[in-house]
């Protein structure tokens, strides 16, 4: 993993309640870099996150609300948060349910800016 990617993910995983973070190629759903807790299947999560992101992006474009910038899948026991970088890379965080969503969003946006 390159230092730039590693540093970008570090910023996200440092937030309390974040269980892991990864960079995913938006077009094919392959993992670019990851820092995940043991037990999380990175490649499967990446594929599903990418597929969900594509559907959302198309639906939002059709609805006329512009490009999808950030999304947050809220679940009983945690959350998946995703930011789109300009180059089509998804910055993904897996977090606990009570995580500070605003802070994770901010760090994801910074990470997305860093990876370009």
Partner 1 sequence: MPDDIRALSAQLAQDPQSLVFLRLAELLRQKRQLDAALRVAISGLERHPHLADAHDLYARVLADKHDYERAFDEWDMALRIAPNHTGALKGLAFLYFKVGDVAQARAHLETALRVDPDDVTITQALEMVQQGVPDEGLDAGPATPAEAPASAAEVAPLEDARVFAGLEGAEEGLLLLDPAGRVLGGALKDRHGTDVTDAVAAYLAGVSQEAARTAKLLGLGNWTGLAAEGGEGNVFLKQPSPEAMLLVVRERGVPMGRLAVIANRAAQAASRWLERQV
Q: Which residues bind partner 1 (CB under 8 A)?
A: 39-41, 44-45, 48-49, 51-52, 55-56, 58-60, 62-80, 94
Nearer to partner 1, 3 or 76 (CB): 76
Nearer to partner 1, 25 or 78 (CB): 78
Q: How far is CA 34 from CA 20, 41, 61, 112, in A?
A: 8, 11, 29, 14
Q: How far is the CB of 109 from partner 1 (least distance, A)?
A: 10
Q: How far is the CB of 3 from partner 1 (least distance, A)?
A: 27
Query: What H or E segment, with its residue span, contains residue 7?
Result: helix 3-13
Q: How far is the CB of 60 from partner 1 (least distance, A)?
A: 5
Q: How far is the CB of 56 from partner 1 (least distance, A)?
A: 6
Nearer to partner 1, 14 or 41 (CB): 41
Burial state string for 43-65 with b = 16 or more CB within 10 A and e = fewer than 16:
eebbbebbebbeeeeeeeeeeee
Nearer to partner 1, 3 or 67 (CB): 67
Give the Cα separation of 38 and 105 in Å (integer): 23
Conformational region of residue 77, where left means phi above 0, alpha means psi within -120 to 50, and beta covers everything else: alpha
């Amino acid at each position: 993993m390159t230092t730039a990617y590693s540093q970008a993910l570090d910023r996200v995983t440092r937030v309390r309640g974040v269980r892991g973070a990864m960079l995913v190629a938006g077009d094919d759903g392959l993992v670019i870099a990851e820092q995940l807790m043991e037990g999380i299947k990175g490649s499967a999560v990446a594929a599903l996150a990418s597929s969900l992101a594509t559907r959302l992006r198309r639906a939002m474009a059709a609805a006329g609300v512009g490009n999808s910038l950030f999304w947050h899948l809220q679940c009983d026991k945690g959350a998946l948060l995703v930011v789109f970088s300009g180059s089509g890379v998804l910055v993904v965080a897996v977090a606990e349910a009570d995580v500070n969503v605003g802070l994770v969003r901010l760090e994801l946006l910074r990470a997305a800016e860093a990876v370009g």
